[in-house]
Amino acid sequence: MTQHAVRPGRGTARRSRQDRTDAPPTGLALPALIAIVVGSMIGSGIFALPSQMAGSAAPGPLLIGWLVTGVGMLMLAFVFQTLARRKPDVDGGVYGYARAGFGEYIGFTSAWGYWVSAWVGNVAYLVLLMATLGYWFGGFEGGTTAPAIIGASVLLWVVHGLTLSGVRNAAFANVVVTIAKVVPIVTFIAIAAVGFEAGLFTADFWGTGSDLGGTWDQVRNMMLVTVWVFIGIEGAAVYSQRARRRRDVGRATVVGFLAVLALLLAVNLLSYGLLAQADVAALSDPSMAGLLEHEVGSWGAGFISAGLIVSLLGALLAWVLLAVEILRLPALDRVLPRALGRENGRGAPANALWLTNLCIQVLLLWTLVNENTYTDLVYLATSLILLPYLWSAAYQVKLAVTGETYDDGTGRGRDIAIGGLALAYAVWLVYAGGWQYVLVAGLFYLVGTALFVWARRETGQQPFTRRELGPVLVVVGLAVTAVVGLVQGFVTV
């Protein structure tokens, strides 16, 4: 779908392709974009990775799974890099690509699902952050006690105030925190490399002496774990409109992904050489702390716990930035109500920020009476972000197949192959995530559709075009099934 011309009264005018390439140096530079990618990808997952992986796969299947996952996510990174280069007039990453390729309603679902995923994920981060403080303060243990929820709420509104001070200020703070969070991870890797024992790593290399299942079962199980640790790869693409140079978006995506992949592989593989696999799997989270304590003593657990807190603070800030941006851009396009696109005097989308953090606050209060909160929130946040990935990969395939932007034909076959692999991987992720989460995603989409209709009314349009009725009916069907399932008990998300 071609991009619409600028409507009168829009807060931010669309720039031409030349303007976007040679924009004045007032936007986010390459280091800030890389920090958004790394900061949003490194949250809690890497600190819990050793035990989660050890409970899913032996070293042999683990290596196969990392190879498949690494290739799949690299193809997705290349998709964002290619689309940033070939479609510099499309803003918003996963939202913009879905809208440009498949219409405004699909674009809305991509933006809305991404936004819900972002703030639900932030609730998970806040719960785990408070639980980690329980290492020092007993009243915070578990992350969902009354003192923990009060502490999480205070922190939430501190971040809210920082973001209101301006996106560039928040982005700079994110750079500093991202650097700080990498330090304990690199320290762990250095110590683990010294203590690594090859005999532990190769013992029962294929898991034949365990109850983890066959090789394929182990590969599949560990790949499900990796979905959460890679979320955020699209961060620079979401912030493409604020980039100083459009070409930096693709560079930041690939550089950020490769850096995080290297850290994940090092942490995961080295952990198998520090303790027996069963012992690693039995460690409580953050399992990286237990491993470092085994190597250097009790200070290691405290050091990693402190690192996790810094990491969670950085991830919280990065995802607040992403959440408000994914509401702001659709509002400028009149896909969401225009009020969500309004910025304060410092360039922060205040209304979008208030809506996001109020939702986080409500869900934080809900965690007081809910069990298994962190795991449930992680699975829900992960499932809601998978369809936006799928639409982005599908858009690259569509461009390459139709030949749009390929006037001389150069690179077309390569991009069909890369986009096809990324699309196949995204489809697999949606399937592996589970049908129950797809149903719940439909319920969230239906709730958000009210805002889509509101935006249409603001511009004097009909709620839906004929082309959009099909996707709307699919969303309604998923939502109704989800409600019935929740009532009858066959949906337990």
pLDDT for res 349: 87
pLDDT tens column, 135-164: 888 888 888 889 999 999 999 999 898 888
pLDDT for res 26: 64
Q: How far apart are CA 171 and CA 36, in angstroms?
A: 8
pLDDT for res 373: 64
Q: How far apart are CA 290 and CA 358, in angstroms?
A: 35
Residue identified by tokens 């910025």 is 343
pLDDT at 11 over 50: no
pLDDT tens column, 418-477: 999 999 998 888 887 778 888 988 999 999 999 999 999 999 999 999 999 999 999 999
pLDDT for res 144: 84
Nearest C-alpha neighbor of 193 from the set 99, 113, 271, 304: 271
Confidence of residue 10 (pLDDT cuts 50, 70, 90): very low
pLDDT at 7 over 80: no
pLDDT for res 6: 34
In the chain, what are the domain boundaries? 17-369
pLDDT at 372 over 60: no
pLDDT for res 264: 94
CATH for 17-369, options being 1.20.1740.10, 1.20.120.1200, 2.60.40.150, 1.10.150.20: 1.20.1740.10
pLDDT tens column, 232-285: 888 888 888 888 888 899 899 999 999 999 999 999 999 999 999 999 999 987
pLDDT at 383 over 90: no
Crossing angle for the helix pair 412-433 and 59-86, nearest 10 degrees?
Answer: 130
Q: In percent, how much of the chain has pLDDT > 90?
A: 49
SS (H, E, C) 114-175: HHHHHHHHHHHHHHHHHHHHCCCCHHHCCCCCHHHHHHHHHHHHHHHHHHHCCHHHHHHHHH
pLDDT at 291 over 90: yes
Does residue 237 contact residue 38 with C-beta atoms inside 8 Å?
no
Q: Kindly report the number of other CB atoms within 10 A of residue 411's CB atom.
A: 15
Does residue 272 contact residue 280 with C-beta atoms inside 8 Å?
yes
Cis ω on the peptide bond leading into residue 286 (within 30° of 0)? yes
What lies within 8 Å, CB to CB, of 417 at 6+ separation is none
pLDDT at 2 over 80: no
Between the CA of residue 452 and those of 86, 113, 336, 429, what are the distances in Å? 28, 13, 5, 27
Mean pLDDT of 314-333: 88
Mean of per-residue pLDDT scores for the chain: 86
Does residue 58 contact residue 64 with C-beta atoms inside 8 Å?
no
pLDDT for res 393: 95
